[in-house]
Amino acid sequence: MTKEQFKAEADYQMALLLIKNLFAQDLLTDEEFKTVQGKLIVRYQPIIGNLSP
């Protein structure tokens, strides 16, 4: 894994944690969560994070 891939993975995981917290606090609907998660995957193209459901 290159430094750039590692940074993208870390950035993705941090953003995912943020939206998971928003979802847990009922500040995002399930549909909004899935939409944002999809956008994060497109933006960061995570290698490891994309493997988890």
| Helix (H), strand (E), coil (C) string for the chain | CCHHHHHHHHHHHHHHHHHHHHHHCCCCCHHHHHHHHHHHHHHHCCCCCCCCC
pTM of the model: 0.86
Are the beta carbons of 1 and 35 closer than 8 angstroms? no
Q: What is the pLDDT of residue 53?
A: 56
pLDDT tens-digit readout, 1-53 = 899 999 999 999 999 999 999 999 999 999 999 999 999 999 999 988 766 55
Q: What is the pLDDT of residue 47?
A: 87
Of 19, 44, 21, 46, whose CA–CA distance to 33 is shortest? Answer: 19
Give the integer Cα–Cα distance in Å for 29 and 1.
34
